[in-house]
Amino acid sequence: MVDRLTPEARSRNMAAIRGKDTAPELAVRRMLHAMGYRFRLHRRDLPGCPDIVLPRHGEAIFVHGCFWHQHKGCAHAPRPASRTSYWLPKLAANVARDECNQRELRPLGWGVIVVWECQVRRDASAVARCLQRLLATD
Ligand SMILES: [Zn+2]
């Protein structure tokens, strides 16, 4: 198969598919950076390839899109009304994968923090305070 994408375009494409470097993720990174935390991104050697990892605090942060990860009770995570035979298993698999990744991270010594897209959009400074509180206890 011929691959016409430049490496650069390909990685942009992959980022879009995998939901990496999304606006809420960038916002969380910016706030952590502003608070002086050191972190690493997308550690592939960890279950679920967490979006942000704070090695010194032993915390893995996932910034989840509400729809893709089916944020419970969230207005931004509607149950698909059409093509349900396509969407429902797909979304259920995402949720199951998230739970599995979190279950695997904990015995490896990682705390897991999930930040939802809607929380960042609604009140980023509340998210920043919350993260600071969570990280201060480590
Ligand atoms: Zn949400």
Q: Calculate how far, in angstroms, residue 125's C-alpha sits from the geometric centre of ligand 1.
A: 16
Q: Calculate how far, in angstroms, residue 64's C-alpha sits from the geometric centre of ligand 1.
A: 8
Q: Calculate how far, in angstroms, residue 23's C-alpha sits from the geometric centre of ligand 1.
A: 14
Q: Calculate how far, in angstroms, residue 69's C-alpha sits from the geometric centre of ligand 1.
A: 9
**pLDDT of res. 7:** 54
Q: What is the mean pLDDT of each run of 10 residues along the chain (138 residues)?
A: 53 53 93 96 93 95 95 90 92 96 96 96 96 86
Specify if 3 maps to a domain: no
Q: Calculate how far, in angstroms, residue 1's C-alpha sits from the geometric centre of ligand 1.
A: 39
**pLDDT of res. 22:** 87
Specify if 4 maps to a domain: no
Specify if 84 maps to a domain: yes
Longest C-alpha distance within the chain, in Å? 51
Structural domain boundaries enclosing 33: 20-136
Specify if 58 maps to a domain: yes
Specify if 8 maps to a domain: no
Which residue bears the tokens 């206890």? 137
- CA-CA distance, 69 to 95, in Å (whole number)? 6
Specify if 102 maps to a domain: yes
**pLDDT of res. 8:** 54
CATH of the domain at 102: 3.40.960.10
pTM of the predicted structure, to 2 decimals: 0.83
* Count of structural domains, the chain: 1
Specify if 53 maps to a domain: yes
Q: Which residues contact 35 (CB under 8 A, 6 or more apart)?
A: 128, 131, 132
Q: Calculate how far, in angstroms, residue 119's C-alpha sits from the geometric centre of ligand 1.
A: 7
Specify if 115 maps to a domain: yes
